[in-house]
Structure 1
Amino acid sequence: MIAGETDLLGIVRVAGTAAGLDVADVQPFRQSENALFRLPGHIIARVSRPGQYVAAQREVNVARWLEASGIAAVQVVPDVDQPVVIDGLAVTFWRELPPHQHGTPVQVAAVLKQLHHLPPPVDFDLGQVAPFVRLEERIAAASILSDQDRSWFRGHLTELQQRWAELPAGLPWCVIHGDAWVGNVFAADDGTVRLLDLERTSFGPPEWDLVHTAIKWRSFGWITEEQYAEFCEVYGHDVTTWAGFELLRDIREFRMTTMAVQAASANPAREEQALHRLACIRGERGPRPWTGWKALE
């Protein structure tokens, strides 16, 4: 948790008032990396973790830029000067999404292909991809870890950082989403597909986006070989044939594990999943694809 629920409710009310929005009935909506609250008028307030103002500002800029560029994505509330910073936390305001489900691999491929061909913005700096952002903080704050496990995490992080410094050449760098798993691609009942969670959008290797879907097949068996082949056909490239695939795979699996460890430190019901992921990436559960990786509830 980034703060107590009562504190966050108060922060959202103050931020919403400052933005000229109706805060008469603010309701908690969801807690994950960020805390979400529903405001009247189908508005969602998003409270970032401490120190994330720059990421929140970039996400607002990216959303406005994508809308102007014709790329379907989550939309900020118009005519609001944001982020609003209250007690060191950045609050942003978004249009609530209609009923939807996760995108399919084919839908993810299509929207990524469109995004990756978009020229970078000229009126603000996207910044470069940051593969290791917040990982040290997650490891340090993970109360479920033994000293031995924490030491392993830190050593493996150093190894991944060293390997990243020697990333093989691949496709030309471009605008990337940065966290392109199916949960960040909105698919409405009417066929509308939109990108969500834009805080990691940056300039980087397109393979960073593609590896998300590749590991769903190769690492976890969440999709079939046929579904992955369809993804590659729509996008036009198979990231698993690239010399840098294993590195990006390892980083993604590591990030997913640190996310689970962070979540388990706040909710003991998630500890079993976190420790299972750790055992897998440490080589204690045999070769990929691993069974037992589940979404964090």
Structure 2
Amino acid sequence: MVSGEGESQNGAGEFTAESAEAVLREACATAGFEPSDAELLRLGSNAVYRLAQAPVVVRIARDPASMESMTHAVRVARWLEGEGFPATRVVPGVEQPVLIGGRVVTYWENAQDTLEYASLDELGDLLRWLHWLEEPEDLRLPYFDSFAKVWHSLGLLDAVGDDDRTFLKERAEKLRKDYDELDFVLPFGMIHGDANVGNALRDKGGRPLLIDLDGACLAQREWDLILTALYYDRFGWHTRSEYESFVHHYGFDIMNWPGYPVLADLRELMMTLWLGQQVHTNERAAEEFLRRVHDIRTGGSRRGWQPY
């Protein structure tokens, strides 16, 4: 998704490995799967489990209010399958998404048994192909409102100090003014919403595919390029040659666009706000949040930022 959402809403309680496992057991019982020996692959915006007894991945959303976005994800996955586009597939014959234990659950076909990410040139090819597709009106994709997400995230910083909260709010207000003046150059249309190499895997046959479709929406295509540029330019998570290969395969370098600094500032703010919602339950997130706020406040290097 373009930005992470909060936890502890709608009575669902804190989102931990223990609480997610309880939801997993009930989700498997509901769909007729066996949860024993399931492997927890990721615990972030979603708890992602790979089942040992079936070729199925179960995703449990952190945000209890994500039913609409996960409904879109299922619709998008089915449409992309019909288009022959390489993306994660929903498990057929299973009703989804479903609400279990106050969390939204979906079931996906297991694409691989060992984690292998696609390369950046493969990500560039996937995004170029995705952006060529013309989504049907009945897909009913939402329009992306970046600042609705920013204001929502700011309202969830209940464990953050007043000084940091005020600073982040003032930065958001400044970025809103700068964002309104941007002149986007790429066509408007469907985007993945959280396009980065972490959401591009290789399947068992070595074919690259996109996963995590719940952020799919209608927006300026620049949003699908900004994370890869950030990871290279500011964070140092990609090499120059990797980034240049991505640009070559996609066909556009967002860093040459005059609006790049504003979009980059906004995207890193959204990443930081997502972390800020977890500081009261996750010590590592709390430390990373403080590091990021300090660097944004002082104009410091982002090279110390850790993937999360």
TMscore range, shorter length: 0.7 to 0.9
Amino acid at match of 2:82: A
Amino acid at match of 1:37: Y
Displacement of 1:120: 1.0
Aligned to 1:295: 307
Say if 1:100 and 1:189, in contact at 8 Å, map to a contact too.
Answer: no
Displacement of 1:137: 4.6
**What are the ranges of 5 or more consecutive residues in structure 2 without an aligned counterpart?**
1-6, 8-13
Displacement of 1:15: 3.5
Task: Give, in whole Å, the separation in 2 of the partners of 1:61 and 1:213.
Answer: 26
Once the two structures are overlaid, the 10-residue window that deviates more, 114-123 or 226-235, is 226-235
Aligned to 2:175: 160
Aligned to 2:99: 85
Secondary structure at the counterpart of residue 59 of structure 2: strand
RMSD: 2.4
Task: Give, in whole Å, the separation in 1 of the partners of 2:60 and 2:237.
Answer: 31
Identity %: 31
Amino acid at match of 1:25: S
Q: Give the 5 Å matches for 1:209-224.
A: 209-224=224-239
2:33 aligned with 1:22: yes
Displacement of 1:242: 1.7
Say if 1:144 and 1:271, in contact at 8 Å, map to a contact too.
Answer: no
Aligned to 2:126: 111
Q: Give the 5 Å matches for 1:128-277.
A: 128-132=143-147, 134-142=149-157, 145-188=160-203, 190-277=205-292
* Residue among 102, 109, 113 paired with 1:95: 109
Displacement of 1:139: 3.6
Aligned to 1:66: 80
Task: Give, in whole Å, the separation in 1 of the partners of 2:36 and 2:248.
Answer: 47
Secondary structure at the counterpart of residue 22 of structure 1: coil
**What are the ranges of 5 or more consecutive residues in structure 1 without an aligned counterpart?**
none
Distance change in 2, residues 1:273/1:8 (3 Å): closer
Task: Give, in whole Å, the separation in 1 of the partners of 2:24 and 2:245.
Answer: 43
Amino acid at match of 1:157: A
Task: Give, in whole Å, the separation in 1 of the partners of 2:250 and 2:179.
Answer: 24
Amino acid at match of 2:246: F
Amino acid at match of 2:273: T
Task: Give, in whole Å, the separation in 1 of the partners of 2:48 and 2:110.
Answer: 11
Aligned to 1:54: 68
Task: Give, in whole Å, the separation in 2 of the partners of 1:17 and 1:241.
Answer: 51
Count of matched residue pairs: 292
